[in-house]
Amino acid sequence: MKALVYHGPGQRGWDTVEDPSIIDPTDAVVRIDTSTICGTDLHILKGDVPETTPGTILGHEAVGTVVEIGPSVSTVVPGDRVLMSCVSACGRCRYCKEGRYGQCLGGGGWIFGHLINGLQAEYARVPFADTSVYKVAPELTDEQVLFLADILPTSYEVGVLNGTVSPGDTVAIVGAGPIGLAAILTSKLFTPGRIIAIDLADSRLEGAKRFGADTVINNSREDAKAIVLELTDGLGADVSFEAVGMPATFELATELVRPGGHVANIGVHGHSATLHLETLWIRDITITTGLVDTFSIPQLMRLIASGRLDPSLFATHRFPLEDTMAAYDTFADAASTNALKVVLEGNDRGATGGARAEMLVAH
Ligand SMILES: NC(=O)c1ccc[n+]([C@@H]2O[C@H](COP(=O)([O-])OP(=O)(O)OC[C@H]3O[C@@H](n4cnc5c(N)ncnc54)[C@H](O)[C@@H]3O)[C@@H](O)[C@H]2O)c1
Ligand SMILES: [Zn+2]
Ligand SMILES: [Zn+2]
């Protein structure tokens, strides 16, 4: 089969590799119908994620069709259309039993395209299939559910739920990339009073407006803290999200929040950031961090099915799966392409993905 293979910092290829097969009895093999690229894949390509070794197939977000199951898999069968989450769950360890799949002790967690071969490929081996994949109803298209693999649950769980967004709140979001935009969408589920998006790029702020931000601030030329204070009677936001992953943006997120407010860090940090306890201690601030667990996928999928959550704005570009190399170029050059998420479409997928299951069973 063909797959996008990481060959060490700065190097990737669309290579012919061995077809995946069942290794553990809890595995499934899935044909990838629709996949996408994450900013984290770019971090891996820069060499920022040393645990990912050269030769690893990248990708941790996809929708596909089960083609083979291991002997102990009992809840999916060949032909089922499934969403694969960026986080796998052994289902048996202490953390999995608490729904904290990101912290799985039994071999799950973020493994796809990180510690094992990932999902930017024609086929993938999917460990712990019973506890890690989500069946997709025929009325939902692949593209409607694809962003449930990572960005929507990340922003919802690590941002909105950790930050306890409540009706009427002022929510300030630092960073308006896919994660910041998903934070706008999922904050709206709680009817905040005002959503403020802050970014250095005007194109990203335009996106934030389309996703539902009420106020946008370009902090390359505007004073974000002054504007947020002005909009909140001098208090600050009820909740702020850090959705960039840099020391300066974390510090900014802590400056924007009101006494008694919540700072939810979503960004992945590679460097230490300063926690200004000398100013924060007296302000009753709660700061949370987190790796996504994706426990909210079923809940968010129901909201998409009922039309109350619409992720369609994320897909800015579409490529055939075999053009994954070109898709990376487009995604990595977001400043000029305005890419948010690029959708990679496999050859055999149907128009909506709905009818393919039958085809495969017959196969
Ligand atoms: N916690 C988790 O489980 C989890 C999961 C997925 C992604 N993430 C992280 O979330 C973060 C955001 O992801 P993304 O895909 O949206 O990234 P992205 O790089 O596409 O977007 C980041 C945005 O931040 C803006 N930005 C950069 N510096 C800024 C500054 N000083 N002030 C304001 N804005 C600034 C950029 O213009 C860009 O629009 C990343 O760190 C990513 O690794 C975390
Ligand atoms: Zn990701
Ligand atoms: Zn586990």
* pLDDT of res. 361: 36
Distance CA 226, CA 213 (A): 18
* pLDDT of res. 354: 41
CB 88 within 8 A of CB 60: no
How sure is the predictor about 87, in pLDDT bands with cuts at 50, 70 and 90?
very high
Given a cut of 50, whether residue 363 has pLDDT beyond it is no
Pairing of β 133-135 and β 170-174: unpaired
User: Which two structure tokens, joined as six digits, stand for 154?
Assistant: 């990340």
| Atom in ligand 1 nearest the alpha carbon of residue 289 | 1
Distance CA 363, CA 351 (A): 19
* pLDDT of res. 349: 67
Which of 244, 254, 340 to probe ligand 1 with, by most ligand atoms within 8 A of CB?
Answer: 244
Element (H, E) at 226: helix 224-231
How sure is the predictor about 357, in pLDDT bands with cuts at 50, 70 and 90?
very low
Distance CA 111, CA 89 (A): 10
Q: What is the mean pLDDT of residues 48-71?
A: 97
From ligand 1's centre to the CA of 214, what distance in Å? Answer: 20
How sure is the predictor about 203, in pLDDT bands with cuts at 50, 70 and 90?
very high
From ligand 3's centre to the CA of 112, what distance in Å? Answer: 15
CB 57 within 8 A of CB 115: no
* pLDDT of res. 260: 98
Element (H, E) at 356: helix 356-362
Task: Say what angle helices 224-231 and 247-255 make with each other, to 10 degrees.
Answer: 20
Strands (DSSP E) contained in the chain are 2-6, 12-16, 28-36, 62-69, 81-84, 123-126, 133-135, 170-174, 194-199, 215-218, 237-242, 257-265, 286-288, 315-320, 341-345
Least confident window among 22-26, 310-314, 356-360: 356-360
Q: Is the pTM of this model over 0.75?
A: yes
From ligand 1's centre to the CA of 64, what distance in Å? Answer: 27
pLDDT above 70 coverage of the chain, percent? 96
How sure is the predictor about 355, in pLDDT bands with cuts at 50, 70 and 90?
very low
Give bridge partners of residue 157 from the DSSP assignment.
none
SS3 breakdown of the chain: % helix, strand, coil, rounded to 5? 35, 25, 40
Instruction: Name the DSSP letter for residue 311.
Output: G
Q: What is the mean pLDDT of residues 206-213?
A: 97
Least confident window among 137-141, 152-156, 334-338: 334-338
pLDDT digits (tens, 9 = 90+) for 246-271: 999 999 999 999 999 999 999 999 89
* pLDDT of res. 195: 98
Average pLDDT, the chain: 95
Given a cut of 70, whether residue 41 has pLDDT beyond it is yes
CA neighbours closer than 13 Å in the CB half-sphere of residue 247: 7
Q: What is the mean pLDDT of residues 287-291?
A: 97
33, amino acid identity: D
Given a cut of 50, whether residue 164 has pLDDT beyond it is yes
Q: What are phi and psi of 116, to 5 degrees?
A: -130, 170
Of the listed ligands, the closest to the CA of 206 is 1
Nearest Cα to 134, choosing from 290, 20, 22, 30? 30
Which residues have CB under 8 Å from 223's CB, separation 6+? none
Nearest Cα to 171, choosing from 158, 157, 160, 156? 160
From ligand 2's centre to the CA of 155, what distance in Å? Answer: 11
Alpha helices in 256-323 (DSSP H): 277-280, 297-305
Which of 103, 179, 269 to probe ligand 1 with, by most ligand atoms within 8 A of CB?
Answer: 179
